[in-house]
Structure 1
């Protein structure tokens, strides 16, 4: 069983692969780091996960997905995402030991994942580039109302959709590199 996660300061989005279909799971709302690690570890154990795919940012972003106007930001960053995707072909990665010491967000995420003690559960941890995954998730909600998009940010559904994107990237890369 594979689960992907999008680790944030307030929420952790989760996604899984079921019968070849990437599906979002209920996000974890963080009260504190230890509670969030305990809750995520419980999900991993309950589902018998043997591989955890974690999104790590390759670049620091200046945009904040929780901005006042998510739709406007999505439109503004959509072109940047397209340009960046073309310019950064091949930057997605699968690595269990990626040196992310220059990116404070990546350091924080790797520290949090270390709290899970995945080795004791025989759960392999792989890191995948998460750049723009939240923006893509937000664009996938463009057909919804503004209030529905805001609610999806607040309740963590957007984070789980971002985890779906992270899992899709992992599957795409792992299929290309057997």
Structure 2
């Protein structure tokens, strides 16, 4: 199944892709100027990669989970994706992405870390799906 992962941020939206659920590739991030522009660009990415499902990161278990689910639902309504939408805990994904990039490159605000965070979110979701097969 072709899947796009989204790390939804206020300034940038990180994106990642997998075709078969094995190799996850970060995609160029979307610079968020306004929500309609961002939703249109995410929708174009979903269409370009022919994604059949979307995994979106949210912080789970904290006091902000309900508010973030509401914001994500609103954004995804703007995207108008009609396939399955899955939530994955994004806790520490941006921090983990920064750690992975430390020493590799000077940290630019070009979205690489955001898309690496989306890759981490999708990797986690895929691991969860694989683990559920054996339960």
Q: What's the secondary structure of 1:118's corresponding residue? A: coil
Match of 1:41?
A: 43
Q: What's the secondary structure of 2:116's corresponding residue? A: helix
Match of 1:92?
A: none
Runs of 4+ deviating beyond 4 Å: none
Question: Gapped runs of 5+ residues in structure 2?
Answer: none
Distance 2:72 2:81 in 1: 14
Match of 1:70?
A: none
2:69 aligned with 1:109: no
Q: Any idea what the Cα deviations from partners look like across 1:21-55, whole Å, max 9, x if unmatched? A: 11100111111000000111111112111010000
Question: Gapped runs of 5+ residues in structure 1?
Answer: 62-99
Match of 1:67?
A: none
2:128 aligned with 1:128: no
Larger Cα-atom Rg: 1
Query: Given the two structures, how large is their TM-score scaled by the length of structure 1?
Result: 0.68
Deviates more, 1:12-21 or 1:129-138: 12-21
Structure 1 residue 118: deviation in Å?
1.5
Q: Any idea what the Cα deviations from partners look like across 1:60-111, whole Å, max 9, x if unmatched? A: 69xxxxxxxxxxxxxxxxxxxxxxxxxxxxxxxxxxxxxx43xx33322221
Distance 1:26 1:125 in 2: 21
RMSD over aligned Cα atoms: 1.7
Match of 1:3?
A: 4
| Corresponding pairs, count | 130
Match among 87, 93, 102 for residue 142 of structure 1: 102
| Bigger strand share | 2
Distance 2:101 2:17 in 1: 19
Query: Given the two structures, how large is their TM-score scaled by the length of structure 2?
Result: 0.88
Distance 2:85 2:68 in 1: 17
